[in-house]
Structure 1
């Protein structure tokens, strides 16, 4: 079986696509309402003020899952815009349904790779935060290179955050948490919080509850973008 070669320098895919089914209501929500809330396709930098219709700070969430935590945080903080990226269509459908049910105007959705969005379409110093909650840990040693939280990604986030902005990661895989602390701490543009517990304002996710039930230890890594170049 032949495969298409990957161009040198192309980031490895940090997620695994999974099959999933959607109910009729979610399918109808996607067909009818997604264009209103979706990130428009096309090259070039996004005008975030135009996308949301205001000048409120914008947080990018990479891997919003089924959207339960995204919805809760957007409800709790209507003065912050949330740009949620998710590769799985059922997750986008669930999040969109929640946006409609709660009448949220501060959420926009991308069905696609949030890292690619960050790289190609987000301008330097324009984000107030980047959230990565429970990314695929790729636990096997030979797959560690596929983990999202690598030095290159952290450097990209640092470039896209405004001074005072935050990178917030959460994982229930302890070796991955150690890697995140190492790579974020090695970037002089970030100041790590010593507290690794879940902040009160971050709700438990559906995935997190399953991990806790299995005895997993959840680590939150929170870092602030400082003014050093």
Structure 2
């Protein structure tokens, strides 16, 4: 789940957010036709999802107590009034290590399951949905996981404001909300502008990993695989899927894909085809 995984619930909020964007326009270039992309009138070229309504929920008393005890150490929240609020990752984690950002960690089940397989990496889970973060805080506290930190906020805005250019070894977007209605396509997190932003935050050799089980969203992403000149698209090479080293160090960013996210599990149960995408920063 990503921070875009939340369907609109308030017509007034939706109307306000749609005032900030123009109708989608077709983008073409040397790589051929690309999907309809939104022209954003607020100076951005990517969706600002925190302006859309998202699911709310309450915490249990136990979750609230665990949150209060652990969030000050494990978590940060995006300050939407501050443009640059870069994180000192070494200080936050108490060590120097490669950092991977997962945009839209949802309830954090797969995040917590994968972290022990990559203890040499710093994992930052980004999510708008507080109850989802609370579940991850509980898992990290209960299981003594040391290499996970969390940020509450819109994933794209967090990347822009909280991470320095070329500071990340990887970015993961697993099963983002497909926003299937055409009028909502501007809310899709995979846009040309988002790819450009991600590329700017990845260090050379860094990995962008996206997975979706939504066929039409996969077609949308297919049209964008070569849209960002700073990213080299490598697809999902068979040698990576089978566990062999391709000689370029890509396996260092991958983990056991048998550890399913909630949305991946639902997709498999519905017999959806899951498509994986990998890019490396040039």
Same-fold status (TM-score > 0.5):
yes
Q: 1:181 is matched with which residue: 219, 222, 244? A: 222
Structure 1 residue runs without a partner (length 5+): none
Q: 1:186 deviation in Å? A: 2.1
Structure 2 residue runs without a partner (length 5+): 1-11, 21-40, 242-253
| Alignment-derived partner of residue 78 in structure 1 | 119
Moved over 6 A (4+): 196-199
The structure with the largest alpha-carbon Rg is 2
Q: 1:201 is matched with which residue: 256, 259, 272? A: 256
Q: Distance in 2 between matches of 1:91 and 1:54?
A: 26
Deviates more, 1:146-155 or 1:45-54: 45-54
Task: Please state whether the residue corresponding to 2:195 is helix, strand or coil.
Answer: helix
The answer to whether structure 1 residue 158 and structure 2 residue 199 are counterparts is yes
Whether the 8 Å contact between 1:171 and 1:218 is mirrored in structure 2 is yes
Whether the 8 Å contact between 1:181 and 1:221 is mirrored in structure 2 is no
Q: Distance in 2 between matches of 1:173 and 1:94?
A: 26
Q: Distance in 1 between matches of 2:274 and 2:220?
A: 14
- Change beyond 3 A, Cα 1:102–1:187: same
Task: Please state whether the residue corresponding to 1:32 is helix, strand or coil.
Answer: helix
Q: Distance in 2 between matches of 1:77 and 1:173?
A: 28
Q: 1:216 is matched with which residue: 250, 253, 272? A: 272
Q: 1:151 deviation in Å? A: 0.3
Q: 1:3 deviation in Å? A: 4.7
Choose between structure 1 and 2 for higher RCO, CA contacts under 8 A separated by at least 6 residues.
2
Q: 1:196 deviation in Å? A: 7.1
Q: 1:8 is matched with which residue: 38, 42, 53? A: 42
Whether the 8 Å contact between 2:101 and 2:126 is mirrored in structure 1 is yes
1:32-83 alpha-carbon deviations (Å, 9 max, x no partner): 2111101266543211111111110000111001101111121111110011
The answer to whether structure 1 residue 170 and structure 2 residue 245 are counterparts is no
Q: 1:116 is matched with which residue: 134, 149, 157? A: 157
Whether the 8 Å contact between 2:100 and 2:172 is mirrored in structure 1 is yes
- Change beyond 3 A, Cα 1:110–1:194: closer
Q: Distance in 2 between matches of 1:35 and 1:45?
A: 17
- Change beyond 3 A, Cα 1:31–1:76: same
